[in-house]
Structure 1
Amino acid sequence: MTPVLIVEDEFLVALDLEDIVCGAGFGVRGIAQDKAAAEALAPGSGIALVDVNLRDGPTGPEIARMLAESGTSIIYVTANPSQVGQPAATAIGIVQKPYSPDSIRWALMVAANGSADQPAPPEFIPLRAVA
């Protein structure tokens, strides 16, 4: 399955996301708490779960745009959707915190397959059409 990069500075949230990602059958490329770590882990990441506010400030949107340049599919995971600004070109949508595990799994399936067999969960804000 597609390797997933988790860009999240809150340790327990990152571990929860890692558990959900692995439980959904995806591999975890790594956990990045800031821009430098995300840049180091970017190669080989097919999907990225990106928070907006990180250890080094609100760098999530910038990280997402950087990852999108190499074709990584972006799923923002944030309590502050308005801070995303101009979404990355490969952004699928925003999963609002607090999220359910099902919403993360659903977004991962859409990122990996381009569609989902169930309707979007209520925490999901689409940024592009999802079949």
Structure 2
Amino acid sequence: MGKKVLIVEDEIFVALEIEQIVEDAGFTVGAIAADRAAALESADNCDIALVDLNLRDGPTGPQIGMELASRHGIRVIYVTANPAQIGDASVAALGVITKPFRAQSISAALKLAATEKPDLLAAEIAGFTPFPPPGSWNAMESRG
């Protein structure tokens, strides 16, 4: 696949578990970062980011996701036990995987993120909740 994944997670055992899942799914881990500074420093050459919300430097995950998407063009997937904390930062992400996660959820979400035009509304991945593209709420409500 050739895509590099940035893992933004401050709990080392969780980060190592995610790293193994990423590699088993056929992707390369570009870096593991435990805070905002390390995540942004490691963003170059990464294509996808798995981002926890509460990190070593506090609840910086949503802002990290926004910056990774806007400044680096990285496809962001939040991996968190607290999806309600994402708030407005959901506009920068493809979706969220809720902790505790399943390896299959991360693997499938990565494969979805690696496609050129991911059809997130049709995605049926257990444990993955896609965010609609910005401006699509009205279209979703009209289908209703």
User: What's the TM-score once normalised by structure 1's chain length?
Assistant: 0.91
Matched, 1:66 2:67: yes
Give the counterpart of 1:84 among 78, 83, 86: 86
Aligned pairs for 1:88-103 (under 5 A) are 88-103=90-105
The one-letter amino acid of 1:60's match is G
- Larger displacement relative to structure 2 (80-89 or 35-44): 80-89
Aligned pairs for 1:1-131 (under 5 A) are 1-69=2-70, 70-113=72-115, 114-115=118-119, 119-121=124-126, 123-128=127-132
Structure 1 outlier segments of 4+, above 3 Å: 115-118
CA shift, 1:118, in A, is 7.2
| Partner SS state of residue 113, structure 2 | helix
Structure with the higher helix share, 1 or 2: 2
8 Å CA contact retained: 1:68, 1:89: no
Q: CA separation in 2, counterparts of 1:83 and 1:118?
A: 23
- Larger displacement relative to structure 2 (15-24 or 82-91): 82-91
Q: CA separation in 1, counterparts of 2:48 and 2:12?
A: 20
Q: CA separation in 2, counterparts of 1:118 and 1:96?
A: 16
Q: CA separation in 1, counterparts of 2:29 and 2:113?
A: 15
CA shift, 1:115, in A, is 4.7
8 Å CA contact retained: 1:91, 1:128: no
The one-letter amino acid of 1:124's match is F
The one-letter amino acid of 2:46's match is S
CA shift, 1:119, in A, is 2.5
Greater C-alpha radius of gyration: 2
8 Å CA contact retained: 2:90, 2:131: no
User: What's the TM-score once normalised by structure 2's chain length?
Assistant: 0.84
How large is the Cα RMSD of the aligned pairs?
A: 1.7
The one-letter amino acid of 2:125's match is A
Aligned residue pairs: how many?
128
CA shift, 1:45, in A, is 1.1
Q: CA separation in 1, counterparts of 2:110 and 2:55?
A: 21
